[in-house]
């Protein structure tokens, strides 16, 4: 009888796994924990497993809705006609960047060399033109850039080696923005980012 019961539990777990094969690992683990709690017959374990599954399914649904509807980031006017976004770079440095859909890359001022702990001697140097002239710069690859909850990996950036007035901490350009479907709402002072397919 015990062998038969174990076999039935194993078969039901296998069927259950096949039905939910496309789910994220966390949900699969929750469902497995619930199946094991049901098999044990412990009501406290069953309740705890159901609550965990419910919580994680809710988070998953919120993430899917966010992926479809997009993340809305409020922007701050700088008084000069630009809109600024609060940006987290490489999980360590915060920047106030001008949202610039005309800039091909993220551009950062020279203070980010130290803030990000970069050794610029290993990068090839060149020049970039910005509104206030030509500046010596290096091109780097940032591990990640996060605006609100919208995270992008491996983002190309240019770091100025001398100071440039008028670009705040820098520019949030297309090397980040193009990783999403984006809408810049200047009137509403917000940026809407939705994951690319």
End-to-end CA distance of the chain: 51
Token pair for 11 = 């078969």
Over the Cα atoms of the chain, what is R_g?
A: 24
CA distance 49 to 168: 49
For each of the domains in the chain, give its residue range(s) and CATH number, in order of start: 2-69 (no CATH), 71-195 (2.40.70.10)
Give 50-68 pLDDT, tens digit per residue.
788 787 777 766 666 555 5
Q: What string of DSSP letters covers 128-190?
A: EEETTEEEEEEEEEEEEEEETTEEEEEEEEEEESS--TTSTTEEE-HHHHTTEEEEEETTTTE
pLDDT category at 197 given cuts 50, 70, 90 is: low
State percent of the chain over pLDDT 70. 80
Q: Which of 15-29, 38-52, 70-84, 130-144 has the lowest mean pLDDT?
A: 15-29
CA distance 152 to 89: 10
Instruction: Please report the pLDDT score of residue 16 as a whole number.
Output: 45
pLDDT category at 12 given cuts 50, 70, 90 is: very low
Please give the C-alpha separations between residue 34 and each of 3, 9, 37, 50, 141, in angstroms, as whole numbers. Answer: 21, 12, 5, 6, 43
Give 17-42 pLDDT, tens digit per residue.
444 556 778 888 878 888 888 888 88
Instruction: Please report the pLDDT score of residue 6 as a whole number.
Output: 44
Give 101-127 pLDDT, tens digit per residue.
999 999 999 899 899 998 888 888 888
CA distance 147 to 194: 12
């Amino acid at each position: 009888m015990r062998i038969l019961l174990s076999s039935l539990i194993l078969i039901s777990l296998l069927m259950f796994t096949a039905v939910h094969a496309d789910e994220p690992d966390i949900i699969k683990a929750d469902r497995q924990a619930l199946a094991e709690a049901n098999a044990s017959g412990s009501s406290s374990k069953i309740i705890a497993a159901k609550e965990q599954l419910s919580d994680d399914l809710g988070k998953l649904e919120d993430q899917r809705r966010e992926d479809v509807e997009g993340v809305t980031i409020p922007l701050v006017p700088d008084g000069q006609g630009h809109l600024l976004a609060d940006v987290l770079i490489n999980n360590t440095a915060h920047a106030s960047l001008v949202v610039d859909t005309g800039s091909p890359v993220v551009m950062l001022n020279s203070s980010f060399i130290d803030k990000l702990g970069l050794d610029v001697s290993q990068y090839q140097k060149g020049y970039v033109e910005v509104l206030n002239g030509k500046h010596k710069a290096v091109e780097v690859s940032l591990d990640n850039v996060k605006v609100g909850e919208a995270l992008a990996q491996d983002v190309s950036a240019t770091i100025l080696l001398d100071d440039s007035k008028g670009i705040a901490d820098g520019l949030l350009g297309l090397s980040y923005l193009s990783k999403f479907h984006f809408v810049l709402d200047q009137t509403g002072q917000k940026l809407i980012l939705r994951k690319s397919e």
